[in-house]
Chains A and B, each alone.
Chain A
């Protein structure tokens, strides 16, 4: 050994290198494990953010389609809520991309005022008392194959459109009843527009004023359908104009008809 003085140094350096190597390997394994965890976190983030983005967009699409449905027709006052409910219930949508499946379906609800966490739909998130509430049912599923992370969840979100449906229905049916009552107790000598017109106009003042106070517009038209006894049919059209919806302003219109037989002066 006296001839080989480097053996001791080599042995010591072998031990040091082995310690360095083992330490490095431990750090390497930890880094690999951290990488796997980050990969899983990334997959979860992808599913959560991707799902939230698609769900928000699908919800906005449903609201826009509900707005289009409400704007495109005139509802009969007596069953406007049922007709609108039927139309909204038919709204469904589905999105599939990047390993994510999101399907949404809508219905109307009377949950009252409640907050919701779908804030990207602001100001239409949650429900507001007196306004049209659309209940959105969402199912999301998806997976990130490389990490083995999968997601499956079902959620319900109340959304609303600022349509005061019940108020508009009340204004409409109330106007019809008021007109029928007021005109039936009015007397006309001659069943002509010159006599009937002012009576209809006078009877309309109350309902028009009351509706205007609540933000509705009322148009009332009439026609004389029979001269003896003098009978007039009238149509009441109520609208809630300039409603601020997700895809611009829109109007919800309702109408109803009524008739009144005037009393004769002799009667």
Chain B
């Protein structure tokens, strides 16, 4: 009987711990954090567009756009522009950008990309 009691106690304990491990809120929290970061970076990209303005972006060369964009980068956010598919600089390591904004500005396509610096 003692053996049965110990087995029951172990079963109860391990079931509870497994349940807590399976239903951990950590995964959902990680997804939420990613979405929050995406929103923050996308808002930052839109702020960048509003700061020098569309007219300035329209007039500027890809190099000027890149310089302006890199000066907008800070310790927590890294920004990059692709003009007609050509990136200004090498993208930071860490895979795809977390957020981007794509638009056509004569004479070509402009993509603004953003990474959280911690990831890069």
Contact = CB atoms under 8 A, between A and B. Distances in A.
B49 interface: yes
A83 interface: no
Given A35-B28, A38-B35, A60 B16 contact: no
Nearest to B36: A38
A31 B32 contact: yes
Interface string B53-88: 111011100000000000000000000000000000
A10 B16 CA distance: 13
B46 A31 contact: no
Interface in A10-57: 10, 13-14, 17-18, 20-21, 24-25, 27-28, 30-32, 34-35, 38-39, 41-42, 45-46, 49-50, 52-54, 56-57
Contact of A53 (B8, B28, B36, B103): B103
Contact of B6 (A6, A20, A32): A6
Contact of A120 (B13, B31, B50, B104): B50
Interface stretch (A106-114, A121-129, A167-175): A121-129
A152 interface: no
Interface in B16-30: 16, 19-20, 23-25, 28-29
Interface of B is mostly: helix
B38 interface: yes
Contact of B43 (A13, A45, A121): A45
A220 interface: no
Given A6-B5, A30-B25, A121-B54, A56 B103 contact: yes
A124 B55 contact: yes
B101 A3 contact: no
A60 B31 CA distance: 36
Interface centre among B13, B28, B102, B112 (most CB of A within 10 A): B28
**How large, as a class, is the contact surface on chain B?**
35 or more
B20 A121 contact: no
A98 interface: yes
Contact of A54 (B13, B29, B55, B103): B103
A7 B58 contact: no
A227 to B, nearest CB: 53
Given A18-B16, A20-B20, A246-B55, A45 B42 contact: yes
Contacts of B50: 119-120
A24 to B, nearest CB: 5
B25 A27 contact: yes
A42 B20 CA distance: 28
B59 A248 contact: yes
Given A31-B29, A95-B104, A24 B54 contact: no
Contacts of B24: 24, 28
Contacts of B1: 3-4
Interface string B1-18: 110011011001101100
A72 interface: no
Contact of B12 (A10, A49, A56, A58): A10
Given A53-B103, A248-B59, A60 B43 contact: no
Interface in A107-165: 119-124
5 contacts: A28-B24, A35-B28, A38-B35, A58-B104, A123-B55
Per CB-CB distance, the 7 closest pairs between chain A and chain B, nearest first, are A31-B25, A17-B16, A57-B103, A31-B28, A60-B54, A28-B23, A42-B35
Interface of A: 3-4, 6-7, 9-10, 13-14, 17-18, 20-21, 24-25, 27-28, 30-32, 34-35, 38-39, 41-42, 45-46, 49-50, 52-54, 56-61, 63-65, 95, 97-98, 119-124, 246-248
